[in-house]
Structure 1
Amino acid sequence: MKHYTDVLKKYADFSGRARRQEYWMFSLIQSAIVIALVVLDFALGTLPILTLVYTLGTLIPSIAVLVRRLHDLGKSGWWYFIGLVPLVGGIWLLVLTATAGQQAPNEYGPDPKAYHA
């Protein structure tokens, strides 16, 4: 839960680097909350209002942590848009987010893993 709250504390911080663990733990918790809200919306028999409000409220931190994750690889945040390429873009972005970051400082900052070893 720590990584989830850390990401939310950096709500719109697109600078710096994010470790794989930070990105994936945020994504895991985010997915679990969205699934729970979808089930709750369905159980209440309403439009997916709760899911929509939550998703819109966490959209910016979700993009920010992905951009910081790309920075950890030494890539610009603009690589985010590779996901828009039909068929292969999403797979490519998935592979990038699962790839180990650069172990040395890069143009986006020091290695975050060096401080969390």
Structure 2
Amino acid sequence: MRGEILQFDEASGEGLISGDDGQRYRLSFRDLIRPARLFAGQSVDFLPRDGFATDVVVLQAAPASSAYASPRTERQGKPEHGPWGYFMKSMRLYVDGNGRARRSEYWWFTLFYWVFLLIPLVPGMIFIGVGGDTYNDGLTALGGLFFIAAGIVWLALFLPNVCVMIRRFHDVGLTGWLVLLGVIPYIGGLITFIITLLPSQNYRNVHGPVPGGHSRETAEVFG
């Protein structure tokens, strides 16, 4: 499996790897197949075993300062795949609030969220309204089915919506717990809306590197 070294302590010979599967693995210098100097940011190949990285091979050397690379360097790597790619990323992560999400990632997901929600919701409202005005039970029942479909869509997208908001808060350097402000009537929604509009911190923060790099965000969900 491919991965990236998140941190490594030369004194203890221990570190941490973020695997391509989104999991983190303990790293020990003695598990290297070929001895090499290790730095945060290096690409490695390894065998995952019970939370540990074994048979580690260093694929890419990196300077010691790579963990604190410039924003431009952090943003290099595999590019995002546009609006639909952002949406699918959030769906793939689903209940994962780790790391950071730039504004474009959050707002493209939000756009698709409302599109998919309104597709069944709008005709449901129309059919129920028309059915009620004409005393047509068939139209009212059809509208009810559309409302049920809208409820299913809402349930399916609820957790990804919360998690991408958590990552958006992480991106501006805030704790994910602040999403709970949204439950405060009136002012809570306004505060969370303002936070989602704030620009990214253009440097690595405690929640991970600047979004857009090739590394996997690894901070804790509500850290």
Greater RCO (Cα-Cα under 8 Å, separation 6 or more): 1
Alignment RMSD (CA, Å): 1.5
* Structure 1 counterpart of 2:204, from 91, 102, 105: 105
Match of residue 25 from structure 1: 108
Q: Would you say 1:11 and 2:94 are equivalent positions?
A: yes
Equivalent AA in structure 2 for residue 72 of structure 1 = D
- Give the length in aligned residue pairs: 115
- Calculate percent identity across the aligned residue pairs: 33
In structure 2, distance between residues paired with 1:83 and 1:37 = 25
Match of residue 58 from structure 1: 157
Q: CA deviation at 1:13?
A: 0.9
* Structure 1 counterpart of 2:148, from 29, 44, 49: 49
Match of residue 80 from structure 1: 179
Q: Would you say 1:69 and 2:168 are equivalent positions?
A: yes
Query: Taking structure 1 as the reference length, what is the TM-score of the superposition?
Result: 0.90
Q: Which runs of 4+ in 1 moved over 6 A?
A: none
In structure 2, distance between residues paired with 1:82 and 1:99 = 16
In structure 2, distance between residues paired with 1:40 and 1:87 = 28
In structure 2, distance between residues paired with 1:99 and 1:46 = 39
Mark the runs of 5 or more structure 1 residues left unpaired by the alignment. none
Moved more, 11-20 or 78-87: 78-87
Moved more, 7-16 or 34-43: 34-43
Larger helix proportion of the pair: 1
**Which structure would you say has the larger Rg?**
2
In structure 1, distance between residues paired with 2:200 and 2:210 = 8
In structure 1, distance between residues paired with 2:162 and 2:184 = 17
In structure 2, distance between residues paired with 1:45 and 1:15 = 38
Q: Would you say 1:35 and 2:118 are equivalent positions?
A: yes
In structure 1, distance between residues paired with 2:196 and 2:95 = 19
